[in-house]
Amino acid sequence: MRFAPRTFTDRAGRAVLLRSPEPADAAALLDCLKRTSGETPYLLRDPEEITLTVAQEEAFLQNMLDDPRCGMLVADLDGQILGSASLSMAGPCRRMAHRCDLAIALYRDFWGQGLGRAMMQTLLDTAPTLGYTQAELQVVCDNHTAIGLYKKLGFAECGRLPGYLRYPDGRLADALWMVRPL
């Protein structure tokens, strides 16, 4: 699905365009994912694990645009992609069709500027129009800033998964499952 583009002014006064990515954004999105994965321990992959080709990412982005129940937003500042947020089906089964998963990754330089909140709120506002009645996400338990944001957006903790991530040094990180009725 395609989001209607809109401009958001962050706390620093910058006008950031929230829009659906196009296949032509594939290389920039891969670079963004690699950078964000290296800036925080809270994402699933290390930068070197992101091995998609530009062609594969282009196909993925086209599929997101073509899928009526999935969507992705990018934050675009003067042509530079600062992060992305996505909404996707929680599962392929009819009994799960009411549930959607949300995810977000944003450059560390733009944390705390209201941009993540604006992106997540856009996903939450759109989800019911796609037939979803429940939004879900997973967040590493140590990511207190994100957990605070999600709670402000109406999410509640509904479970904990021990050992969700294993870091290269052997440490484990638990995850919280959070849910929000739409």
Spell out the domains of the chain, with CATH numbers in brackets: 6-181 (3.40.630.30)
Q: If phi over 0 gives left and psi between -120 and 50 gives alpha, with beta otherwise, what is residue 79? A: left
Instruction: Answer whether 43's CB lies under 8 Å from 36's CB.
Output: yes
- List for the chain the helix, strand, coil content (%; round to 5): 35, 35, 30
Residue 116's pLDDT band, with cuts at 50, 70 and 90, is: very high
Instruction: Answer whether 126's CB lies under 8 Å from 88's CB.
Output: no
Residue 72's pLDDT band, with cuts at 50, 70 and 90, is: very high
**Per-residue confidence (pLDDT) for residue 119, from 0 to 100:** 98
Under DSSP, is residue 100 helix (H, G, I), strand (E, B) or coil?
strand
Residue 143's pLDDT band, with cuts at 50, 70 and 90, is: very high
**Per-residue confidence (pLDDT) for residue 152, from 0 to 100:** 98
- Which has the closest alpha carbon to 22: 56, 70, 73? 73
Burial of 35 (0-12, 13-18, 19+ CB in 10 A): middle
Residue 138's pLDDT band, with cuts at 50, 70 and 90, is: very high
pLDDT tens for each residue of 165-174: 999 999 999 9
The rounded percent of the chain whose pLDDT value lies above 90 is 99
- Mean pLDDT computed over 28-41: 96
**Per-residue confidence (pLDDT) for residue 155, from 0 to 100:** 99
Question: pTM here?
Answer: 0.94
**Per-residue confidence (pLDDT) for residue 178, from 0 to 100:** 98
For the chain, how many residues are written? Answer: 182
The contacts of residue 134 (CB under 8 Å, 6+ apart) are: 98, 99, 100, 179, 180, 181, 182
